[in-house]
Amino acid sequence: MPESLFQVKRLSELAQSGQLKGKRVLIRADLNVPQDEAGNITEDTRIRASMPAVQMCLDAGAAVMVTSHLGRPTEGQFKSEDSLAPVADRIANLLHRKVPLISNWVDGGFEVNPGEIVLLENCRLNVGEKKNNDELAKKIAALCDVYVNDAFGTAHRAEATTHGVAKFAPVACAGPLMAAELDALSRALASPKRPLVAIVAGSKVSSKLTILKALSEKVDELIVGGGIANTFMLAKGLPIGKSLAEPDLVNEAREIMDLMEKRGAHVPIPEDVVVANELSPLARANRVASDQVAEDDMILDIGPKTAARLSTMLAHAGTIVWNGPLGVFEIDQFGGGTKMLAAAIAHSPAFSIAGGGDTLAAIAKYGIENQVDYISTGGGAFLEFLEGKTLPAFAVLAERAKG
C-alpha cells in the first residue's frame, strides 16, 4: 500500500490558511439516509457526520454547495421519493439556518453568497453521473472554486461527483470524514505497527476470497470465522458436520495457509467450536473439540478455548483490522466468541480499525464503540480497500495533490 496514495490536500488546511474565504465550495457528502414509507428520515448519523465539513466552510467565509446521492434513482427521471428535501430540512434544523434545495442545478442559474449554504438535488438524477461522464463533470466543476470529497462510502465508485469533478475543479481536497478514513487505513495497512492481526469472518469464502488473499501477503495472523473458518477447517481435514462451508474452495484455503506459513505467518484454526442441531434462538449450544463435530452438527461459533487463545493474540497485537463476527452473534448462545474477541479488541493496546455492516452491529451490541480506534462506515469501499484495490476517489485526490 504506497504511502503516496494517502497524500492529499485537506479541507482543514485550506480553511486554516484562509483559502476558502469568498470561494465557492462544492462538498460531495454522503447523505444517503434511511427513510420510512412517508419519507421521514429514520436515522440521521450520516447527515450529522457530514456537518463538520459544512460548518468549517461556512466559518471560513465560503459560499457552500452540498450534494449527495439518495437511493437509486433513474437518471433524468425525477420522482418525489428521490428528493433530498427531507435532508435539506434536517440540515436546516441541525445548523439553525435556511438551506434552500436547488433542482436542475448542473448549468448553474442559482445564487449562493459567502456564509450561505444550498443543497443541490440528488446528484444521481443527473444524466451521466454513474458513467462518470466528462462533460457533466466539467459543468459541475465550473460551479465551484474548491471541490471537497467527504463521502468515503462512495470512494470505490468512479462517478461524476466522486471522481470526474475532482479532475476538473480548480482545487480538489478531502473533507474531514474522508481524511480521517485515509489516516486510519494508512495507519492500519500502509505502515502498520506489528504484529498486524486481521479478523475476516463471514458466511462465504468466495465473497471474501480476494480480501483473504490480499491480507495473507501482509498480516502476521489471519483469524477466520463463520462459514469461512469452516472451509479452512475442511482444508485441514477436520469434520464440520452439516455446517455452512464451500468445499470447492478448499484448495484456495490451503494455498492461503501455505503462503502465510512460508513467511512465518499463521491462520489459527479453531481447537474447539460451539455446535447445535439447528440455527434457532431455542437451539441447545454444545461445545466440542474441533475434531469431534458430529454429522448432524452445525458449527455456529468458536469455542471458549479458541476464543481465549485468539484474545491473547489480540492483546499482543500492534494493529488489528476487523471485518466480520466470529459466529451467529445475533443469537446469544452463539455470540460468545464474538463477544470475547470484541472485549479483547477493546482492551488491546493495538491500533484497531473495524468495518462492515455485521461488524458494526456486533460493536454496537457489545458496547465497545469508544474502544475501537476507528470504525469505518464505508462498507463496500472499506472492503475494496482491504482487497488491495485502488479506490478511484482516493487516487484522483492524490493525483491532484501532486500538481
Q: Which residues of 381-397 are buried (b: 16+ CB within 10 A; e: fewer)?
A: bbbbbbbeeebbbbbbb
On whether residue 247 sits in a domain, the answer given is yes
- The residues, ordered by sequence, that sit 6+ positions from 213 with a Cβ below 8 Å of its Cβ are 252, 256
3-state secondary structure (DSSP) of residue 42: coil
Q: Are residues 202 and 168 in the same domain?
A: no
Catalytic residue (choose from 22, 108, 357, 367):
357
Q: What is the DSSP letter of 106?
A: T
Answer yes or no: is 285 within a domain. Answer: yes
In a domain, 8, yes or no: yes
Q: How far apart are CA 360 and CA 343, in angstroms?
A: 14
Determine whether 400 is an active site residue.
Answer: no
Residues within the annotated binding site for ATP?
A: 208, 330, 356-359
Shared domain check, 199 and 161: no
Residues 172 and 311 in one domain: no
Catalytic residue among 130, 204, 236, 254: 204
Range of the domain at 24: 3-176+390-401
Catalytic residue among 23, 46, 139, 400: 46
Would 64 be classed as within a structural domain? yes
Q: Is 53 contained in some domain?
A: yes
In a domain, 362, yes or no: no
Listed residues 334, 349, 364: the one ending a domain: 349
Q: What is the pTM of this model?
A: 0.91
Give the per-residue pLDDT at 3.
60
Residue 254 shares a structural domain with residue 291: yes
Which run of H or E residues covers position 46?
helix 45-59
Residue 186 domain flag: no
Residues in the annotated binding site for substrate: 30-32, 46, 69-72, 124, 157
Directed axis angle between helix 336-347 and helix 304-315, to 10°?
20
Question: Are residues 166 and 212 part of one domain?
Answer: no
Residue 236 and residue 166 share a domain = no
pLDDT at 190: 86
Residues 199 and 74 in one domain: no
For residues 21 and 156, membership in a common domain is answered with yes
237 is catalytic: no
**What is the spatial distance between Cα 217 and Cα 264, in angstroms, rounded to a whole number?**
11
Are 44 and 113 contained in the same domain?
yes
Q: Looking at the 3D structure of the chain, how many domains does it have?
A: 2
Residue 1 pLDDT: 55
- Catalytic one of 236, 380, 388, 389: 380
d(CA 96, CA 118): 13
Binding-site residues for (2R)-3-phosphoglycerate, in ranges, read 46, 124, 157
User: Is 212 in contact with 200 (CB distance < 8 Å)?
Assistant: yes
Annotated binding-site residues read 30-32, 46, 69-72, 124, 157, 208, 330, 356-359
153 in the same domain as 109: yes
DSSP letter assigned to residue 179: H
pLDDT 10s digit of each residue in the chain, 403 long?
556 667 899 999 999 999 999 999 999 999 999 999 999 999 999 999 999 999 999 999 999 999 999 999 999 999 999 999 999 999 999 999 999 999 999 999 999 999 999 999 999 999 999 999 999 999 999 999 999 999 998 999 999 999 999 999 999 999 999 999 999 998 998 889 999 999 999 888 888 988 999 999 999 999 999 999 999 999 999 999 999 999 999 999 999 999 999 999 999 999 999 999 999 999 999 999 999 999 999 999 999 999 999 999 999 999 999 999 999 999 999 999 999 999 999 999 999 999 988 999 999 999 999 999 999 978 788 888 888 888 999 999 999 998 7
**Is residue 380 flagged as an active site residue?**
yes
State which of 316, 333, 349 marks the end of a domain: 349
Q: Is 284 a catalytic residue?
A: no
In a domain, 385, yes or no: no
CATH label of the domain that carries residue 42: 3.40.50.1260
Residues 135 and 239 placed together within one structural domain of the fold: no
Q: Any idea which residue has 449562493 for its cell?
A: 112
The answer on 203 and 164 residing in a single domain is no
